[in-house]
Chain A
Amino acid sequence: MSALGLIFSNIHDNNIPELTAKRTVASIPFCGRYRLIDFALSNMVNSGIAKVGVITKSNFQSLMDHVGSGKDWDLARHYGGLFILPPFGVVENNFLYTTRLEALKNVTGFLNKSSEDFVVMSDSDMVCNMNFKPIIAYHVEKNAAMTFVYVEKEKYDVERKHTPCLTIENGVVEDVSYGSTEGKINLFTNVVVIKRTLLISMINEAVSHGKKHFIDDVVKPELSSGRVYAYKHEGYYEEITSLQKYYDENMKFLDKEVRDEVFRKANVYTKVKDSTPTEYGEKAIVKNSLVADGCRIEGEVYDSIIFRGVKIGRGTVVRNCILMQNTITGESVNLNCIIADKNVVIKDRRNLSGCENHPFFLPKGTVV
């Protein structure tokens, strides 16, 4: 059973305006050396999917730069491989999609040209290690129209207001609602398996009737057929839905169990940078921290995530921070609960502090 992948790269941009000012959600740097889309792309590749379309809308230069030809994900192929699907606009009809359905309408050409049996749709705001093979097999076994992947969460784990939750009866999706009940919820991951031809006809029909919303207008009418199945994903799954959540989820990777679950069960691929090894100086003290390659650590780092190419000067103390690529700190700097976006420079003897439930954010290229 062949399947192609579709990844939505912009759909949650508004959730984290700080980090998406100059990039898509998909290209948000994560955990030292990754971008969020690496998880969705690696899940596809690890599930044997060799053709992946990435739907983009705006701000996607950093994303294009990151994925390139797709070779780092083994997606630079003669047959299949990576397809970037930017908006199909003309001057008189300057159309940018606003909903998932409109985004899908934009890519019906790509879907029509393809020959794969199934489509696996995924968002790019999630961090997880998910194998689609058993999900597709389940979809086939049940002869489902659509299969929705969900995870069980406590209500308080999920802070987003418009969280889609599934009501499930005997494995069949009965209803999709937007975050209401207390206690346990079935959080919909936005991962959907569907037959390609069915997806095309659903899109065409919905659009010709002037429908706008994928869940409300396309999925919900389908639920009564009883052929929309739910598939539960076990194990680590988180969505990056706010700056706070971004901070907390990065920090979770200081836990070996989480690292082993996400990175050691299957490969997570990312763009390679030919960084040199990281150098630790004579006075370096590093505790409970993740450090990527290409760094030079002369000072002290505690409970932090350090991205590629970061320089920590002598006498500098970094605690509970996320320092993205090429952050440079001078000497005798004190940083606590800081999220520094790429290329931030912090000069000698500066003291900056946020707090754990309100990390202080420094935008890309800031000089302090």
Chain B
Amino acid sequence: MINKKESVAMLLAGGQGSRLYALTNRIAKPAVSYGGKYRIIDFPLSNCVNSGIDTVGVLTQYQPLVLNDYIGNGEPWDLDRSYGGVHILSPYQAKHGQEWYKGTANAIYQNISFIKSYKPEYVLILSGDHIYKMNYAKMISAHKKTGAACTIAAIKVPLSEASRFGIINVKENGEIYEFEEKPKQPKSDLASMGIYVFSADKLYEYLEADEADENSSKDFGKDVLPKMLAAGEKMFAYTFKGYWKDVGTINSLFESNMDLLNRDSELDINDPTWKIRSRNPIAPPQYIGENGRAVNSVVVSGCEIEGDVENSILSHDVTIRKGAVVRNSIIFSGADIGEGAKIDYAIIDENVKIGKNASVGEQNSEGKISVIGRDVVVSDGAKVPAGEITDKDV
């Protein structure tokens, strides 16, 4: 058997996503719903497949049930392969005891034997926190061209915001000479996207060295990459242009969803040449009733709309009952919005039940998003004010 893959992707999906609060109480961040039909992880997974990478290790740790269930055998992404395909890699027990993943670098280190079994030349490290469409094959070919040990994807951000990011300072040819983690006085506007291509041998070498270093926090950005640079390894930035949005906070998740309603947005999920794949729900077409209304919104199958929906995003099997008004909100699958309920500037998680005449969020409360966590029941007439986040029945 020929057992070799040129590139293997490792997707770090273990993060708790604590800044998403109630939305990630019981599921990992990459499994959070996005854009009606998707989960965040659909973007890196689809990017892999569309870039011709068919071997993906997904590293899970925090609340992996929903994520594991969602990925399954990888069939929706054509990653159910006899050789390669998608693999869920969770922390495991070994002869010398068991360990949780201590940091991004340690997570990859613990799965080095998985990577080595494919004898790859290049290893692509990805995270499951961003919404973007990117051709990794182009980045890998740039990596080959420069002969670098490591290539880091970078994107230009407004200089005023650069102090929020890990900034990369590069020479004219794109070679990196300095990293600055959240600098107060940024020298450049190139931010690291947390996407790395390593030449496999260099990755193994530096992961092993980092593992042996007791003072290391076992993190790529903080430990491994600076060490490589200090050792004089050739490192290049690969500049990415296009839509790229972190969805790690309630506000950024909300904004990125709303970008789907903006036709001028750079994010085009309708592009037939770069399809974002997802696990499709088994549900009949959506129904809009005599009293229903849906304007400037995206809606997925299985929804039953008898109320009024504007500037909103509805996942599958959402029920909007008569007289309910939903504005500027994101409703995840299976939620039931009762008669006369008012929802404005809110994220309603999966299978939430909103009672009659209840209200969640307030008008014109941009930046103060109310969040109702999974399976919560909001009783008839209850009121959840703007900006309130709850995972308990109201």
Chain A residues engaging chain B, CB cutoff 8 angstroms: 31-33, 71, 253-254, 256, 259, 263, 267-269, 272-274, 276-293, 305-306
Chain A residues in 8 Å Cβ range of B296: 280-282, 284
In contact, A33 and B284 (Cβ under 8 angstroms): yes
Specify which of B260, B280, B289, B293 is in contact with A272 (CB 8 Å cutoff). Answer: B280
Interface size on B, residues (CB 8 A): 35
- Determine the residue in chain A with the shortest Cβ distance to B289: A288
Specify which of A280, A288, A306 is in contact with B295 (CB 8 Å cutoff). Answer: A280
- Determine the residue in chain A with the shortest Cβ distance to B268: A276
How far, in Å, is A251 (CB) from chain B's closest CB? 13
Chain A binding site: helix, strand, loop or mixed by DSSP? Answer: loop
In contact, A293 and B288 (Cβ under 8 angstroms): no
Chain B residues in 8 Å Cβ range of A287: 288-290, 292
**Residue with the greatest number of chain A CB neighbours at <10 A, chosen from B270, B278, B296, B301:** B301
Chain B binding site: helix, strand, loop or mixed by DSSP? Answer: loop
In the complex, A259 Cα to B280 Cα: how many Å?
19
| Interchain Cβ contacts under 8 Å between A and B, 23 examples | A33-B284, A71-B75, A253-B284, A254-B287, A256-B287, A256-B304, A259-B287, A263-B283, A277-B313, A278-B300, A280-B296, A281-B296, A283-B295, A284-B296, A285-B293, A286-B293, A287-B288, A288-B290, A291-B288, A291-B299, A293-B300, A293-B301, A305-B285
In the complex, A274 Cα to B50 Cα: how many Å?
14
In contact, B301 and A280 (Cβ under 8 angstroms): no
In the complex, A125 Cα to B301 Cα: how many Å?
24
Q: State whether A263 and B284 are in contact (beta carbons under 8 Å apart), knowing that A284-B294, A284-B295, A287-B290 are contacts in the complex.
A: yes
In contact, B284 and A277 (Cβ under 8 angstroms): no
- Determine the residue in chain A with the shortest Cβ distance to B312: A280
In contact, A31 and B292 (Cβ under 8 angstroms): no
Chain B residues in 8 Å Cβ range of A305: 285
In the complex, A223 Cα to B260 Cα: how many Å?
63
Chain A residues in 8 Å Cβ range of B297: 279-280
Q: In the complex, which residues 5-47 of chain B have their Cβ closer than 8 Å to any Cβ of chain A?
A: 35-37
How far, in Å, is B37 (CB) from chain A's closest CB? 5
- Encoded as 1 (CB less than 8 Å from any A CB) or 0, chain B from 255 to 270 comes to 0000010000000011
Nearest first, the 10 A-B pairs at minimum CB distance are: A32-B285, A272-B280, A277-B36, A277-B298, A263-B284, A290-B285, A292-B285, A280-B294, A286-B288, A277-B300
- Determine the residue in chain A with the shortest Cβ distance to B287: A290
Chain B residues in 8 Å Cβ range of A283: 295
Specify which of B36, B282, B286 is in contact with A290 (CB 8 Å cutoff). Answer: B286
B275 an interface residue at 8 Å Cβ cutoff? Answer: yes
In contact, B295 and A276 (Cβ under 8 angstroms): no
Specify which of A268, A277, A281 is in contact with B37 (CB 8 Å cutoff). Answer: A277
In contact, A278 and B289 (Cβ under 8 angstroms): no
Chain A residues in 8 Å Cβ range of B280: 272-274
